[in-house]
Structure 1
Amino acid sequence: MAAVLDSVRAFFAPSTFTIDLENAGDVVARENLLDRAMGAGRTKKSSEKLRRGRVPAEGLALVARDRSGHVIGTVRLWNIEAGVDRETHPVDALLLGPLAVDPAHEGKGIGSALMRAAIMEAKKLGHGAILLVGDASYYERFGFFAEKARHLVMPGPFERRRFLALELKDGWLEGAVGLLVASGRQLTRPPVRRAA
């Protein structure tokens, strides 16, 4: 991970922000940032159905920090099954989202740096494809296209033209068809202590 993050830092102005792995201390800052950047309706999206009650894919929850260490950007990837292949085997993939940058820091390349770091790390970890729901005009620059997701569907309402995929391994989604299903680790809650 360090090599990937170092190469992203070298490409983007490292004196302005850094990309780092998310840690437990970032939870409140991340959630507040998402509320500011995406609004209250963000938890009602179809993508949220795949994330609810799950933890992000191992090593694929990243944050951007300003010089003071405050979280100013976030991206997370989640383990999913992207339908089944021709032999009805589940197709392992990742779902990206949400990607968000604090509105006060937009236009500084933070979103692009987070995307590039997430894609490079997912590829390094051996994943075959990433799917997302977002604006094609933004995500096509990273290699995401609707054509690659044409035979797949989200669990709930979604706009087909905004459902995009990137193959990290050539042909990974070829023949994949069906519904996206969450497959990542479930969120475990700490045991509740009861008064004696």
Structure 2
Amino acid sequence: MTPDLPIFTVPDFVIDAEADADVQAREALLDRAMGEGRKRKSSEKLRRGRLPSPGLAFVARNGAGAVIGSVRLWDVACGDKPLLLLGPLAVEPSAAGHGVGSALMRHAMARAAELGHGAIILVGDAPYYARFGFSALKTGGVMMPGPVERDRLLGHELRSGHLDGVGGLLAARGRRAERAQPQPQRSPVPARIARVA
């Protein structure tokens, strides 16, 4: 075993709030689990330039502390109806099948309910997400800002009736990610100070 590679000990894992130090590991995990095309998906248009909803970004860590799973929820709206967009949900391929994804889902959904959110939507595999109560029954009027297979646009109410009558184009809302400001270039020649006489 190579000591510099993460050790994927499953089922021993914990769900933790995502930290700034997890960004590189999360991005590498998403690339491995979802491939390079992940940034071209319709859902990504709603996430681009935004931060996850406060308190709703989680990672799963193995016994060695390595990130083996990730899920984030984002603030979106359909008309004037606030919703959460879940995704991406990703698990280290070598840790798949050990309940990491299910634990991340259940934790994220419970926390979203605790924070008072009304409903979660996502684009995903209906048979997988049905176990968490997601279906396409109330998302027929919802439109994504890009192509999506209708049977993969799923919703789950955290408060009964929150998705009743919802329709229209989903729009990003919530906190914007800060962009790094370019630093002014310094002149290699010292500036001259003019003397006023």
Quick check: TM above 0.5? yes
Cα deviation per residue 1:63-106 (whole Å; 9 max; x = unaligned)?
0000111000000000000x23xxxxx00010000000000111
Match of 2:147 in 1: 157
1:139 aligned onto 2:135:
no
Shift of 1:195: 3.1
Q: Are residue 41 (structure 1) and residue 43 (structure 2) matched?
A: no
Runs of 4+ more than 3 Å apart: none
2:119 maps to a residue whose letter is: A
Matches within 5 A, 1:1-196: 16-81=12-77, 83-84=78-79, 90-196=80-186
Structure 2 gaps of 5+ residues are 1-9, 187-197
Q: Could you give the per-residue CA deviations for residues 20-76 of structure 1, whole angstroms, max 9, x where no partner exists? A: 000000000000000000001000000000000000000000000001110000000
- Unmatched 5+ stretches in structure 1: 1-13, 85-89
Distance in structure 1 (CA, Å) of the matches to 2:140 and 2:157: 13
* Bigger Rg, which one: 2
> Following the alignment from structure 1 to structure 2, what is the Cα–Cα distance between the partners of residues 167 and 15?
29
> Which residue identity is paired with 1:194?
P
Question: Does the Cα contact within 8 Å between 2:11 and 2:99 map onto a contact in 1?
Answer: no
Tell me how far 1:177 sits from its aligned partner: 1.0
Structure 2 length-normalised TM: 0.88
Using the size of structure 1 for normalisation, the TM-score is 0.88
In percent, how many aligned pairs have the same letter? 57
Measure, in 1, the Cα distance between the counterparts of 2:47 and 2:11: 33
Tell me the number of residue pairs that the alignment of Structure 1 and Structure 2 aligns: 178
- Contact residue 131 and residue 163 of structure 1 kept, 8 A: yes
Contact 2:138/2:166 (8 A) holds in 1: no
Structure 1 residues 139 and 119: alpha-carbon distance in aligned structure 2, compared to 1, 3 A threshold: same
